[in-house]
Structure 1
Amino acid sequence: MEMPLQPSAVSDSRQQNDPVRVLLLEDSRQDYELIIAHLRRGGGVYEVTHTAGREEFERALDDGSFDLVLADYSLPSFDGRTALRLTRERRPDLPFILVSGVLGEEVAIDSINEGATDYVLKQRMDRLPSAVSRALAEANERKERRRAEEHLKLLVGELSHRVKNTLATVSSIAHQTLSRSATLEEFQEAFLGRLQVLSDAHDLLFQANWGRTDLRKVLERTLQPFEARPGIGLRLEGPSIMIPPRSAVTISLVLHELATNAAKYGALSSEGGYVHLGWDVTQQEDGSNLVSLKWRERDGPTVAPPTRRGFGRTLIERGAAYELDGTSRLSYHADGVACDISFPLR
């Protein structure tokens, strides 16, 4: 039996919309009405499901979603401590208050030790509203604490995953840079530059709370060290596109390699040279979006394909293929290097 209880005047819209769902175990009609009266007197909105025996109590406990259990301690064929045990087995976090006229101190202490939230004597029913409020507040506090703990556990796991990925990236960069460096000085310069790009990318992602970040911001942050040279320029053109963290890190590393090469041998190495970097996003037939980046060097010295395969080219090709799940094409024209990168936006 369900009985919604509501004070004649309730101003709190949340109480009106979200009644406290109570499972009441009580075989006495008189005591049932007494409990209802004291709940009403204490204010608030309650939706009460009334049961008088074990079978209907268990059925209601299994079928319903309750915020609180109120149970008489002594019934003809059932008792409150058994109801408490059943509740703890099936709904361990559900607040449970024993209501009894014959609850001794020893039994009360045992019941609390077995998981009861509180107990109220029928001779002191004026305590019921405050006991209910306290039980609900404690349950909500436990729920929030558990939610915070679960969130913290998730964050720690995510942090561990990201740290491992970052360390693996740093290790790979160090190994590849060292294997392709002729001198220690060459290794130091190249490695520290790549490490700085990785740091800048992570800093940008931290500012975005490790969510999606604007592609333009990623490009501007990566290319900023190359803009201070007089007589050369970087021209960026494209729409606002929000990309995921993994794509942001990879694009930063790839663009750093292109810009470093251009600063040493290409359009950013001589006065009057410039790089045009454009990007756009197009929708494919299957409904997915494809991002295209186009790097074009102009008015720099004549370039020729390198005689040996460096780490920069390996990073560009593998980064596009494995990290971006996309494609890349690096071309060496007489008027400058061109690089096209495409990857799906997920």
Structure 2
Amino acid sequence: MAAHENSTAARLLLLEDSALDAELICEFLRDIVPPPVIVRVSLRDDFAAALAEGGIDLILADFSLPDFDGMSALDMARELAPHLPFIFVSGVLGEEVAIESFRRGATDYILKQRLIRLPVAVERALAEAREKAERLRAERQKEVLVRELSHRVKNTMAMVMSLVRRTLVRGQPAEDYVANLLQRLGAMADAHALLFETNWSETDLLEVVRRTMEPYLRSGIGRIPTRSGPARLGNGEAEERRIEIHADAFVPLSPKPALALSMVFNELATNAVKHGALAHEGGRVVISWNEDAGEPDHIRIIWREIDGPSVERPEREGFGTTLIKRSVEYELQGSVTLNYRATGFLCEILIPKVIEL
């Protein structure tokens, strides 16, 4: 790295052909805490090799050298390691030469007759290099975050536009269209809120299910679990439980699959409330997941409706069904099976534990 923490000894590259002058320079630099590690070279090829090897924090260079001059050394350093501070330490350095050296990128110059200034100059140059490197890291991080935000906003807007278009059904009353659209947009907003709370890092499948089912639980169908692990949801401890969740495996989810599963569960819950088990008094929904016995690197999620009305496969596949299939197959790289059974609707989802983004 070009900049070290204050507690780490800096590595200085000293370009000096005089052994006596090199010894004096090293003696003055011992006042720095902690004392720097000094790598001394005197020839052009050795200087270039040391720069190429890296691990240097600052360069000290004489102006007059056996096989090339200090200005050439400065040009080489600016080309091979432009981030390194460069300080001339010379016996003679005229005003015009000093000005030209600054124009070409030198950090400072110290006369050998006044080496007492050297430790302060080196410490100041190292501190400025650390600050510059930190600013550069912050700027790069900002650029990454801006690009990531732009990408997420574009994806979100594309999904919103798709929902607006696909929710509309010819001949559908305007009130139904608005209600369905707001339902789906609300599910998306809730999923984004959960991801925001986790700083767009990993979240748990149980949290995704809880957040998605929360509107139905608030409506009196059930209560929200307060901890991970197997949970049953009902109107109360003494009342019949309408929604059950069996979290038999901890499933960490990155943002993309978390959002996709949130939309899937919202569609399943909406359908259950309108046409399935939750539309029928006494009907129940059981949601469970565990590691798949046949494919250990996959998670099997089961949505099972019990004691609801008899269901039949619809003649035409609606947008909700299409959204579920596309979310599972394309976003989650898995498979989904929808069973319209006389005893109740059943949805089985198989997704890999690790989803390639």
TM superposition score normalised by structure 1: 0.90
Please give the per-residue CA displacement for 1:125-169, whole angstroms capped at 9, x wherever unaligned.
Answer: 111111111111111111111111111111111111111111111
49-58 vs 216-225, greater mean Cα deviation: 49-58
Measured in 1, the distance between the counterparts of 2:120 and 2:88 equals 14
What SS does structure 1 have at the residue aligned with 2:350?
A: strand
Measured in 2, the distance between the counterparts of 1:42 and 1:208 equals 44
What SS does structure 1 have at the residue aligned with 2:271?
A: helix
Q: Where does 1:3-152 land on structure 2 (aligned, <5 Å)?
A: 15=7, 18-152=8-142
- Which of 298, 306, 313 pairs up with 1:290? 298
Code of the residue aligned with 1:294 in structure 2: it is I
Q: Is the 8 A contact 1:234 1:275 kept in 2?
A: yes
What SS does structure 2 have at the residue aligned with 1:179?
A: coil
**Alignment CA distance shift 1:204-1:181 (3 Å):** farther
Residue 27 (structure 1) shift:
1.9
TM superposition score normalised by structure 2: 0.87
2:198 matched residue in structure 1: 208
Is 1:229 matched with 2:238? no
Code of the residue aligned with 2:346 in structure 1: it is A
- Which of 235, 240, 250 pairs up with 2:260? 250
**Alignment CA distance shift 1:57-1:284 (3 Å):** farther
1:265 matched residue in structure 2: 275
Please give the per-residue CA displacement for 1:171-217, whole angstroms capped at 9, x wherever unaligned.
Answer: 11111111366121111000010000001111111111111110000
Q: Is the 8 A contact 2:14 2:39 kept in 1?
A: yes
Code of the residue aligned with 2:329 in structure 1: it is A
- Which of 148, 159, 169 pairs up with 1:169? 159
**Alignment CA distance shift 1:108-1:283 (3 Å):** farther
Residue 275 (structure 1) shift:
0.5
What SS does structure 1 have at the residue aligned with 2:329?
A: helix
Measured in 2, the distance between the counterparts of 1:56 and 1:318 equals 61
- Identity over aligned pairs, percent: 48
* Structure 2: segments with no counterpart, 5+ residues: 222-234, 236-240
Q: What is the root-mean-square deviation of aligned Cα atoms in Å?
A: 2.0
1:274 matched residue in structure 2: 284
* Structure 1: segments with no counterpart, 5+ residues: 1-12
Measured in 2, the distance between the counterparts of 1:41 and 1:204 equals 54
Q: Is the 8 A contact 1:283 1:289 kept in 2?
A: no
1:3 matched residue in structure 2: none
Measured in 2, the distance between the counterparts of 1:151 and 1:317 equals 36
Code of the residue aligned with 1:158 in structure 2: it is E
Code of the residue aligned with 2:243 in structure 1: it is L
Code of the residue aligned with 2:251 in structure 1: it is I
Q: Is the 8 A contact 2:251 2:353 kept in 1?
A: no
1:329 matched residue in structure 2: 337
Code of the residue aligned with 1:190 in structure 2: it is N
Measured in 2, the distance between the counterparts of 1:304 and 1:56 equals 81
Which consecutive segments of 4 or more residues in structure 1 shift more than 4 A? Answer: none
Please give the per-residue CA displacement for 1:78-115, whole angstroms capped at 9, x wherever unaligned.
Answer: 32111111111111111110011212233222211210
Residue 294 (structure 1) shift:
0.6
Residue 300 (structure 1) shift:
2.0
Q: How many residues align?
A: 330
